Structure 1
Amino acid sequence: MATTTLPEFLRARRERLQPEVTGRRRTPGLRREEVAARAGVSVTWYTWLEQGRGGVPSDDVLERLARALELDDTNREMLFLLAHERPPPRRHTPPADVTPALQRVLDNLRVPALVKTPTFQIVAWNRAAVVLFGDYAAMPEHERNMLRRVFHPKATTFLPHAEDMQRTCLAAFRVAIARAGATPEAAALVDELMATSEDFRRLWAENELHTHGVRPRRLVRPDVGELRFEASMFTVDDSDGLSMVVLSPVDDASARAVEQLLQERAPPP
């Protein structure tokens, strides 16, 4: 099947809309002049756009067309992909709440898993994460932040390769906040760590950028020794910025250690 084109997409979405009129209409959906009026563009230009002759619309015009055609987030993204071959700019909205369904996914995992915002604030976790990293529910909200934790002065006591962890987290953080858009929360976090961490200042100046990908991670616990994981990050659909970090043991010893911690710290019956 051929790839959908921008003219085809616009016509299909226009024809799906129900006009608020009385009486019968010969054609389905809205007329071109009605969409043009909604979007604040000329009828001629919109007609050309549906015919593949209108040139490349600006972001502002695409946003107005998205509203005129009553597009949801998925179709708005498709509109930008067809017109500009890139997703639309992120809207500056706070990350969505953790849904009960998302929490159930976490709770059904026997390996450590966390949900974070674009500013790496930890907003959900499972029992395996608690036995490995500590009780997030008992922590002040300020401390539930992955960047603050990896740039903490005592991070080297449990991270054998702290600088590698700091470097990869910071590079992924820069990508995350670029995608989410500048926010006062992100700016305040950067200012805080610039003022309190020499390591943060040094690594921030390197301007390294890359997504998280799958990363090896090593942790040291006095009670079970060294644990080896692969850290994977997954975007949470329809959450506007949330992502899930899952730490999968890479060897039998690490898997047994996680199970041991879960059993030793099992909640009372």
Structure 2
Amino acid sequence: MLGGGDPGDPFAAAHGVPVKALIPVGGVPMALHVLRALRASRRVARVAYVGPTTPEMDGLIDEGVTDHGTLLSNLEAGVEALAGAGLAPGERVLVVTADIPLVTPGQLAEVLDAAPPEAALVYPVVRRGDCERAFPGVKRTYASLREGTFTGGNVFLLDPRLIGQFLPRLRAVLAARKAPLQLAALIGPGILLKLLTRRLTVRELENRVSALLGVPARALITGHAAIGTDVDKDADLRLAEAHLKADVPT
């Protein structure tokens, strides 16, 4: 689970905590909601947590990992911690960010059940309509494909044996994301044109990502909006607070 962050993050600082994952939601750190969902899903054998914690979180964590400062470095450190503790043959790693406090145990279990077993990397995506029905007014970043308009999830499943193979390639893609010509060269002009004109299919995108990363990658369309709804700003925080309060039995 990824709970690290920039120590200079103004959102976290405004709420008096060192990183965003520790911002209170419903009276407890938002990361604690995600940890509880992971444990209650009964599908997770061990939890490695990357980033600072609180005592109430520690009882739900098996491997505490120091924040390495970047998303990919934290991902690598978390997977290495789990591998060092011992992974069974064929066991995969579920990577979850700590800023999705509305996710439920059942939603995580359903994603794991639906993930294609042959894929080394499985990335859930959520349709825009599902997000807006679940959380009216929510603001997310979307991409339009032939099958619909989607936002990316904040969980993914990977084969830890292949992380050394695709992480260097993923770093190259992320490094190019703000350089349009470099990114176009990586993605390929034909794929980029189809994406911009909304003619790209999910299968074509999967095939291109698989080729880029060198491992079989698959998208998983899920109707669970909470998986694609992270807390990045005060409006998101208010939304999460409201929904958590509405779910409390009276």
Q: TM-score normalized by structure 2?
A: 0.27
Higher Rg of the two aligned structures: 1
Report which structure shows greater RCO (CA 8 Å, sep ≥6).
2
Q: TM-score normalized by structure 1?
A: 0.26
